[in-house]
Amino acid sequence: MRCNERIKFAALLEKAIALGFDAVCTGHYAKVITDADGNPELHRAADWAKDQSYVLGVLTHEQLKHSMFPLADTPSKAEVRAEAERRGLSVANKPDSHDICFIPDGDTAGWLAEKIEMTTGDIVDETGSKVGEHPGANAFTVGQRRGLKLGTPVADGKPRFVLEIRPKENKVVVGPEALLAIDEIRGIKVSWAGLPIAEVATGDEFDCYAQVRAHGDPVPAVAHMELESDDDGATRGNLVVTLTTPLRGVAPGQTVVLYQGTRVLGQATIDAARSLQRAAL
């Protein structure tokens, strides 16, 4: 998402405008709709299976004004391929990309091991008791089950999953699958795609759908801004999202994107993910 934010729709767009162009046109599956007042809104593409509005939720009002997505109304990727083949383009049958562009072999743990110093640490259960050791906390992801190599068997005999990663303590927290369910998300670095809806400025709650992965399922939620005023008088705040349907595998550092219908409202970086069931322990 930072690539879109800082390169394609920042540096590239800035250069294009400086050269006299009106917009940057990309092959993202997303749609820009202009409202009655001439303001751009970001929406999902017609092909929801390929929709990329999640990764574009960081775009600003000004960036959307100068963005074009010609694949917005294309019903399917098959039609795009057919048109490319009809025109004799060499990329007509190019395989879809599913990997991180700078980790083409998909070995994220190996790439991190080369870039970040790994230090052994404790694996603890939801009560804080040590149940094993890990080679480096950064090698794990929330929701992971395989490769934990727990030294202490659990009483119920059921598998354990990574519930939380605590980099500052170099600890990995594991527990039963049920405790992966997240009910509340708190977000920082909040931004709004286009102009924010009225409730953003007032701090009132609003209904929406929350999505935490590029191709994850959006779930119903209620959100609001916790507003605070800076010394300069500017009003800022953090985003609080209460999920009507709990989500699994949510972790700090991920992005939560909010929708109303097909419209992208905005996004935030997840700072904390709260499980009501874990809080009750």
Q: Which residues are catalytic?
A: 3, 101
Phi, psi for residue 9 in degrees, rounded to 5: -115, 20
Q: Among residues 239, 127, 227, which one has the least CA distance to residue 186?
A: 239
Between CA 23 and CA 143, with CA 267 as vertex, the angle to 5 degrees is 125
Sequence-ordered list of residues with C-beta below 8 angstroms from that of 99, at least 6 positions apart, any chain = 105, 106
**Distance in angstroms (rounded) separating the CA atoms of residues 162 and 167:** 13
For the stretch 44-72, what's the b/e string if a residue is b when 16 or more beta carbons lie within 10 angstroms of its beta carbon? Answer: bbbbeebbbbbbbbbbbeebbbbbebebb
| Residues 29 and 45: beta-carbon distance below 8 Å | yes
**Distance in angstroms (rounded) separating the CA atoms of residues 125 and 90:** 53
